[in-house]
Structure 1
Amino acid sequence: MDLGILIPLAPFIMVLGIIWLVNNRKLEEKRIAATAEASSEKAAQYASQVSKLEDRVQVLERIVTDRGYDVATQIEALRDVKEVETSGSGIPLNLNRKEEA
């Protein structure tokens, strides 16, 4: 191949290279913008979820630290004990009757 032919074509080849580089840069910028937009949307969704969870934790903290929670727990514990006693489970001990020798 003769270099004499390439010399007049060099400006055209350079212009094609510049166009290709500019197009690649624009595509990369579009890709970055799309990624940034998707990331910001996800960040907003996560922030909303975190806010909801924080609200729920605050409610749970109020319930647990409230004195009424302790009373409710004690009532439920008593209900559980009563259910066990009335269900007839276990072996009868006959504690009221004297053992005969």
Structure 2
Amino acid sequence: MSSIALLIPILGVSIPIVAIVGGIGSKIFTRWADLKEKQLGITATIAGEQAAQYAAKIERLEAHVAVLNRIVTDKGTGLSEEIEALRTPAPKLPLN
């Protein structure tokens, strides 16, 4: 009988403590979930901006390749001479 008599006050104190901790835990979880949602939104925004930058870079590179293709196909005979002219070092001019 004495062990049951000891459990009644322990349960009487434990139940409110569990309820309070459970309420705080749910608030903490809600704040954590909101933070994670904001982090995912920021990550998605950054990824979208990087994708746009990469797309612009690819577009520029494709334009450069198109110019190079046009140069190769239009001036096929003088191209080797132009390449050789680029290989020779430019004369050094005095600074003054």
Same fold (TM over 0.5): yes
| Uncovered stretches (5+) of structure 2, i.e. residues with no partner | 1-9, 86-96
Counterpart CA distance in 1 for 2:27 and 2:79 is: 74
* Equivalent position amino acid for 1:22 in 2: T
User: Is residue 11 of structure 1 aligned with residue 19 of structure 2?
Assistant: yes
Counterpart CA distance in 2 for 1:52 and 1:63 is: 17
Greater Rg over alpha carbons, structure: 1
User: Is residue 70 of structure 1 aligned with residue 80 of structure 2?
Assistant: no
Structure with the larger RCO, 1 or 2 (CA within 8 Å, 6+ apart): 2
SS of equivalent to 1:71: coil
Runs of 4 or more, structure 1, over 3 Å off, are none
RMSD: 2.3
TM-score by length of 1: 0.65
* Equivalent position amino acid for 1:20 in 2: I
| Uncovered stretches (5+) of structure 1, i.e. residues with no partner | 81-101
1:41-88 deviation per Cα after TM superposition (whole angstroms, max 9, x unaligned): 11110000000000000111111111xx123236x28x98xxxxxxxx
Equivalenced residue count is 76
